[in-house]
Amino acid sequence: MPFEQTNVLQLAPGLRTLQSQGAVHRVRTVEGDEAWLVTGHDQVAQLLDDDRLGRSNPDSEAAAKDSGSALLASLLGDFATDHARLRALLEPHFSPERMLALRPHVEKMTGRLLDELTGQKPPVDLRQTLALPLPIQVMCEWLGVPQEDKDQFGSWTQDAANVGDPVRSKQGLGELFGYCRQLVADKRQNPGDDVISRICATEGITDNEVLGLTALLLFGGYETTVARIGTCVSLLLANPEQWQALLDDPGLVPGAVEETLRMSMPNPHNGGMPRYALTDFEIDGVTIRTGDFVMLNIIAANHDETAFADPGRIDVARDTTGSLVFGRGAYSCVGAMMARMQLQVVLTQLVARFPTMRLAVGVEELGLRHNTLIGGLIQLPVTW
């Protein structure tokens, strides 16, 4: 590892070859540590919700790790150790009713950004003009962060996600937590109709817990959505017949969102969801020992031919029921509904307002960001 990504919209050839040889593999991480890489769909699905694996190793200093596991540990904090209680606090804020109420705001924000786009001469970088600004505006609106702070806040979040520069990442995290600490104190004194205020009002919750949840939500809801918007749009524009299918039938947009999420490419340096074996166990004929580092590669699982026919081909009408993009079970992504909603709004408005949109460069000229936990495209040049 890492596997060379020759096409940003397709599974790395080396990972595809490895997957064809079995579901569980012994590999060495970028840091030089030995690990188990799980690529089979059924095996990843099983282990995502398996209490024989944990998010941390008791011996954190000696534990094997990849480039993102330390950052994840910093962000998760209390959420990893008191997961069930803190998740239960978050879930009501992601309810269908809350997302339905938020959607008009997302539609308005998206519309304004696209209004600005119409005034620009193509080609333009859609990542810079839409994928970057929209998620941070949405998160600020939803959480109760002043919109005037969004640029600074977005900058700290991007710094924190920089796994290629530990010093910059630590500074970004420090700034992020420092800001959130002051924000929580302000919400305690002057509550509003927003998520942070409602979490603060929860009986028995500490300031540190609110702080950790706020930072986690901002980071998780921003960086991941930026990356997903980019890969979603680029996959469709790189396959004009699929874009045309949405023009012919906008009702296919929800399915297109699910399919592009299934196919979306993360940072190729990130081997998968980091886990540690809490006991000895066997899977697919391989014995995992207590303390072993296990990486669950969701993107490989979503490209497993045993789960999805012709998995490297995008099909907006595909049944994606088995997709693992948001995890599974108790540790599935609590913000999945928000991410889906934003992507649906973006696609709906792009198709309606920019029907002739297309990539301004060849797919081979698109590049992935290698220095971040989430990855995503460096740029997304489009024209119309």
Check pLDDT > 80 for residue 135.
Answer: yes
Element (H, E) at 40: none
Determine the Cα–Cα distance for residues 157 and 221; give it in Å rounded to an integer. Answer: 10
Place of tokens 């009986």: 203
The pLDDT tens digits for 67-88 are: 554 555 555 555 555 778 888 8
Q: In this predicted structure, what is the pLDDT of residue 60?
A: 61
Q: In this predicted structure, what is the pLDDT of residue 70?
A: 54
Question: Contact at 8 Å (CB) between 363 and 255?
Answer: no
Question: Contact at 8 Å (CB) between 375 and 368?
Answer: yes
Check pLDDT > 70 for residue 373.
Answer: yes
Query: DSSP characters for 322-345?
Result: T--TT--GGGS-TTHHHHHHHHHH
- Give the pLDDT band (50/70/90) at residue 93: very high
Q: In this predicted structure, what is the pLDDT of residue 81?
A: 59
Average pLDDT value for the chain: 90
Least confident of 231-245, 320-334, 347-361: 320-334
Determine the Cα–Cα distance for residues 207 and 181; give it in Å rounded to an integer. Answer: 8
Mean pLDDT of the region 312-319: 98
Looking at per-residue pLDDT, the higher value among 77 and 357 belongs to 357
Check pLDDT > 80 for residue 221.
Answer: yes
Domains in the chain: boundaries: 68-266+310-383
Question: Contact at 8 Å (CB) between 319 and 264?
Answer: no
Check pLDDT > 90 for residue 161.
Answer: no
Determine the Cα–Cα distance for residues 380 and 360; give it in Å rounded to an integer. Answer: 8
Q: In this predicted structure, what is the pLDDT of residue 80?
A: 55
The pLDDT tens digits for 38-71 are: 999 999 999 999 999 998 776 666 666 655 545 5
Question: Contact at 8 Å (CB) between 165 and 171?
Answer: no
Place of tokens 């031919």: 305
Angle at Cα 382 formed by Cα 377 and Cα 384, nearest 5°? 160
Q: In this predicted structure, what is the pLDDT of residue 1?
A: 75
Q: Could you please state the CATH topology (level 3) that the domain comprising 68-266+310-383 is classified under.
A: Cytochrome p450 (1.10.630)
Number of CB atoms found within 10 A of residue 368's CB: 20
The pLDDT tens digits for 4-33 are: 888 889 998 999 999 999 999 999 988 889
pTM of the model: 0.92
